[in-house]
Amino acid sequence: MSIKSGTGTRWGYAVAVWGVLFAVPSFLWATGSTFGARSTVAPELVRLAQDRVPWFLVVLWVTGLLKLLGAAIGLGLTRPRGRLAGRSLVLCGGGAAVLLVWHGGLFVVHGILVEAGAISVDPALAGLTRWYLYLWGPWFLAGGLAFATATIRHLHPGGRRFAATGALGALFLSLAATVTGIG
């Protein structure tokens, strides 16, 4: 599997930086700090972190580690790999792209609907909705688009089915989580 040089490599590095930056709040909140969380994250999540609820702390640590794994995948997409490793990177990159774009898109669409008055939220959460519209939604979208671009640039023509498989699998999981109320 070969990669295209130049911009493709830059996109892989962008994914790596994005993943590391995104991991910082998870680790910060897992260690007991709520810096940045009070105004930008749902109050019930802040309470779980403040109360040091064990299962939620595990979720924060695992989430931080997954974000670092995403950064490692981004670095992997900057380098040529053997067939199996390259396919795994493409599968993961395609899946991450869909998950992040879907998640960020939901935040943005919800925020736009709230701002337009099409749906209402508790007035106490209106400011929080803006954070999801202007910060978290675009942040997820940027990460998803960076993953998509890095993955596409990493591909040779035969690898597209692995990216598509990862993307479709992620879309299926996201839809299932949304329908069941988990995500």
How many domains are contained in the chain? 1
- From the list 89, 72, 96, the residue with the least C-alpha distance to 145 is 96
Q: Is residue 85 part of a domain?
A: yes
- pLDDT tens for the chain, 183 residues: list them: 443 445 568 999 999 999 999 999 999 999 988 888 877 888 888 889 889 999 999 999 999 999 999 999 999 988 876 655 677 888 889 889 989 999 999 999 999 999 999 999 888 888 888 899 999 999 999 999 999 989 888 876 555 666 667 677 777 777 776 666 665
Q: Is residue 168 part of a domain?
A: yes
Q: Residue 130 belongs to what H/E stretch?
A: helix 126-131
Q: CB of 141 within 8 A of CB of 104?
A: yes
What is the C-alpha end-to-end distance of the chain, expressed in Å?
A: 34
Q: Is residue 22 part of a domain?
A: yes
Spatial separation of the C-alpha atoms in residues 183 and 173, rounded to whole Å: 9
Geometric angle at alpha carbon 99, from 98 and 100, rounded to 5°: 95
Q: Is residue 1 part of a domain?
A: no
Q: Is residue 18 part of a domain?
A: yes
pLDDT at 39: 78
Q: CB of 16 within 8 A of CB of 79?
A: no
Q: Is residue 97 part of a domain?
A: yes
Q: Is residue 2 part of a domain?
A: no
Instruction: Return the CA Rg of the chain.
Output: 18
Q: Residue 27 belongs to what H/E stretch?
A: helix 7-30
- Structural domain including 87 reads 7-180
pLDDT at 7: 55
Q: Is residue 144 part of a domain?
A: yes
pTM of the predicted structure, to 2 decimals: 0.79
Q: CB of 103 within 8 A of CB of 37?
A: no
